[in-house]
């Protein structure tokens, strides 16, 4: 178990009321992420009377040491199993995916449609054009370290970790060593991620559920042009919001969080109210 992720907020969550809710939301986090990034949105939905469940995907969080053994099929199987259980529990279900979780959500929505789909910076293609070479590159360059050249004294670095993992002491030599030397991601697992995104693009046309998509205009990880292309491929009605933000849309420590939260909760509120009105007819 990875020592950085022992806190409860990094684990799967179930935010439910005392009474069984009619509507449940199922939230999927991003690549190398944890349910912690989806908890703020889950909490906002629970305040609307909507149950919220978020799962920890295999090879993430406390199990990050197994990330490089993961495949797209592993992630899809875990998401499918949990989504199947979720939809059996609620009369109406909302499916919410962020980044890689958005790619998984598209796959689920094409096969077991939700009643409402919400995608935050949904991943379909890698920003780095060299990613197209990953099927070959993974046999030559085995891994890379994303934090190998990190500047621990830079304000942006300290702000990022303060907002995402505030418990990390960036001045501790062991923490610095773990980040620069230990956080190696294999190119093979990146190729699995690449495949998952391309599959999400192919699944888009099969998704006819009403969909809300929120995308940051300054996102350098999931580029807006790829999300606009995704919108054009979707098989159902899409409401697209491009907001002034980077990739960190669901994180409540980022300036864009209130905008993202309000866009999503306004849509879920309308959805819940429409369903309640139909039930009374």
- Residue-range domains of the chain with CATH: 3-129+198-280 (3.40.50.1820)
More confident residue, 151 or 248: 248
More confident residue, 143 or 211: 211
pLDDT-based confidence at 168, cuts 50/70/90?
Answer: confident
Tens-place pLDDT, residues 71-105: 999 999 999 999 999 999 999 999 999 999 999 99
12-26, 98-112, 148-162, range with the lowest pLDDT: 148-162
pLDDT-based confidence at 274, cuts 50/70/90?
Answer: confident
| 219 and 246 Cβ atoms separated by less than 8 Å | yes
In the chain, what percentage of residues exceed pLDDT 90? 65
Does residue 173 carry a pLDDT above 70? yes
| 48 and 266 Cβ atoms separated by less than 8 Å | no
In 3-state terms the chain splits into helix, strand, coil percentages (rounded to 5) of: 50, 15, 35
pLDDT recorded at residue 137: 45
Tens-place pLDDT, residues 220-272: 999 999 999 999 999 999 999 999 999 999 999 999 999 999 999 999 999 98
Using CA atoms, how far apart are residues 50 and 54, in angstroms rounded to an integer? 13
pLDDT-based confidence at 142, cuts 50/70/90?
Answer: low
Return the DSSP state at 57.
P
Residues 6+ positions from 128 with CB-CB distance below 8 Å: none
**Integer angstrom CA distances of residue 8 from 5, 51, 78:** 8, 18, 20
pLDDT-based confidence at 59, cuts 50/70/90?
Answer: very high
Using CA atoms, how far apart are residues 116 and 272, in angstroms rounded to an integer? 10
| 219 and 245 Cβ atoms separated by less than 8 Å | yes
More confident residue, 31 or 20: 31
221 is written with which tokens? Answer: 């990880």
Task: Please return the burial class of 181, using the count of CB atoms within 10 Å of its CB with bins 0-12, 13-18 and 19+.
Answer: exposed
Nearest Cα to Cα of residue 248 among 41, 56, 24, 71: 41
Residues 6+ positions from 210 with CB-CB distance below 8 Å: 116, 117, 236, 237, 238, 239
Residues 6+ positions from 215 with CB-CB distance below 8 Å: 120, 121, 222, 224, 227, 228, 240, 241, 242, 243
Place of tokens 């420590």: 253
pLDDT recorded at residue 2: 59
pLDDT recorded at residue 182: 63
Residues 6+ positions from 44 with CB-CB distance below 8 Å: 261, 264, 265
pLDDT recorded at residue 148: 65
Strand partners, 215: 242
DSSP reduced 3-state for 240 = strand
Place of tokens 């960036």: 170
pLDDT recorded at residue 147: 66
pLDDT recorded at residue 169: 79
Place of tokens 């933000």: 245
The backbone torsions φ and ψ at residue 145, rounded to the nearest 5 degrees and listed phi first, read -115, 110
32 is written with which tokens? Answer: 């190398």
CA 26: distance to chain centroid?
11
Place of tokens 């139909």: 278
14-28, 111-125, 237-251, range with the lowest pLDDT: 14-28
88 is written with which tokens? Answer: 């059996």
Using CA atoms, how far apart are residues 115 and 94, in angstroms rounded to an integer? 6
Tens-place pLDDT, residues 176-226: 777 776 667 888 899 899 999 999 999 999 999 999 999 999 999 999 999
């Amino acid at each position: 178990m990875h020592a950085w992720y022992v806190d409860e907020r990094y684990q799967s969550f179930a935010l439910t009321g005392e009474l069984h809710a009619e509507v449940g939301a199922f939230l999927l986090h991003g690549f190398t992420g944890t349910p912690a990034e989806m908890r703020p949105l889950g909490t906002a939905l629970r305040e609307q009377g909507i149950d919220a469940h978020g799962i920890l995907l295999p090879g993430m969080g406390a199990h990050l040491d197994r990330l490089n053994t993961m495949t797209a099929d592993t992630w899809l199987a875990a998401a499918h199993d949990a989504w199947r259980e979720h939809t059996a529990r609620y009369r109406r279900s909302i499916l919410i995916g962020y980044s890689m979780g958005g790619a998984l959500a598209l796959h689920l929505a094409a096969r077991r449609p939700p009643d409402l789909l919400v995608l935050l910076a949904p991943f379909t293609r890698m920003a780095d054009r060299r990613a197209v070479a990953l099927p070959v590159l993974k046999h030559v360059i085995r891994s890379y370290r994303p934090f190998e050249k990190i500047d621990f004294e830079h304000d942006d670095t300290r702000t990022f970790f303060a907002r995402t993992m505030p418990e990390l002491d960036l001045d501790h030599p062991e923490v610095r060593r773990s980040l620069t030397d230990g956080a190696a991601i294999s190119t093979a697992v990146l190729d699995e991620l690449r495949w998952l995104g391309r599959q999400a693009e192919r699944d888009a046309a099969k998704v006819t559920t009403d969909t809300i998509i929120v995308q940051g205009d300054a996102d350098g990880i999931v580029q807006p042009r790829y999300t606009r292309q995704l919108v054009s491929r979707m098989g159902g009605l899409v409401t697209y919001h491009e907001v002034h933000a980077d990739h960190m849309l669901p994180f409540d420590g980022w300036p864009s969080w209130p905008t993202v939260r309000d866009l999503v909760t306004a849509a879920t509120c309308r959805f819940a109210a429409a369903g309640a009105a139909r039930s009374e007819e």
